[in-house]
Amino acid sequence: MNLGILITSTGWGGLEMNTLKLARLLTQKGYRITLFTQEQSSLPKHVSNEFFNIVFIKKNRKYFDFSSAKSLSIALKSNEISQVLLVDNKDIDLLSWVKRFYIRSLRIVYQQHMQLGINKKDMLHTFRFKSINRWISPLNYLKDELTVRTHYPIERVSVIPIGVDTDKLFQNKYSKEEALVLLNIQSKHPLVGIIGRISEKKGQLLVVQAAKALIDEGKLVEVLIFGSPTINDVHCQQYDKLLRKYVEDNHLQPYVHFVSHREDVAQFYNAIDVFVLASESETYGMVTIEAMFYGLPIIATQSGGTTEILGGGKFGTLYPQNDLFACKNAMKYVIENNSQMIERGLLAQKEAESKYTHFKEVEAVDNLLKNA
């Protein structure tokens, strides 16, 4: 089956990585996939044999880019593409004009990666969404939000979780001791880990402050901050400096460990005793699911898709967003109830294995594409 994937994003993050993973799995199922993207895109740099063809297109405007719509329609026709998988909400407008003016029979399947945020029941959004044949939401709460905030027909919505590439996640296996050596950490106390871009929205400072509050109470704990600030992002760079200054000013160097981002995340998950997510809100939260696969005790903010992923607290300890006192108490509770948390971690692991593998995702997407 010929399939087009449209993604004009030029970044390299979770959206692009998950798109490439899904493309690889669909290719293994026999799809001939043509990628439509911009020349400035980072995605082609990471491609091996996931795509049958790559077509570079120009996109000049976010909305009403009729010139790009015409060019894209010509490229779709010349590559014999009658069905497109759309993964970025910023591309909905472009593809809706392609379908409206040039290829009325084009089938569009949209895999949602972001929350809708605000109501989108106006005529323009309704027109754009009408072009989408099938809508994939990764969680039920996103499907419910779609029902409330749009006029999109709910019978055309499917809930298909975005799967974790478990082959890659478990490619390298380490004992806790081996992982600590690789990270150059000598940990003497329970090690709480937070992974991701160093950014105010990710909440690393809150975790360090919670750890300090515990240490001040005589409950010794250590923190592993695994990640780096975005190089060209001034706000991330400033936050990183603020974070490190706080550690230095409060003499927390023996208790807080910084490890720059590296591809081998197995080192992180095998080294830590407790996983913590402190983000303001995660639409989906792949790192939380990865922690579930490792059977780790989990502490996370009660926001976004995290609440559903953790079963409302069944698979992890939830606390209110940006609540330092609650975060500290959650950390204390998890550390002091280690055996109970290990049992909960095993439940979370079983949940992840039953719902969130990349194999489950591709089977469901394949079935949907064949019946869109």
> pLDDT tens, 247-305?
999 999 999 999 999 999 999 999 999 999 999 888 888 999 999 999 999 999 998 89
Span 188-200, average pLDDT: 95
Indicate the burial class of 188 (C-beta count within 10 angstroms; 0-12, 13-18, 19 or more).
exposed
Q: Which domains does the chain have, with CATH numbers?
A: 2-163+357-370 (3.40.50.2000), 167-355 (3.40.50.2000)
> pLDDT tens, 32-65?
999 999 988 888 888 888 899 999 998 878 889 9
**pTM, whole model, 2 decimals?**
0.92
76, 84 contact by CB (below 8 A):
yes
- SS3 string, 321-333, reads CCCHHHHHHHHHH
Name the strand (E) or helix (H) holding 26: helix 14-28
The distance of Cα 264 from the centroid of its chain, to the nearest Å, equals 17
Picking from 58-62, 64-68, 181-185, 205-209, which range would have the lowest pLDDT averaged per residue? 58-62
Q: Helix crossing, 286-293 with 338-355: angle to 10°?
A: 110
310, 320 contact by CB (below 8 A):
no
> pLDDT tens, 137-180?
999 999 999 999 999 999 999 999 999 999 999 999 999 999 99
> pLDDT tens, 298-341?
999 998 899 999 999 999 999 999 999 999 999 999 999 988 99
pLDDT over 90 at 136, yes or no: yes
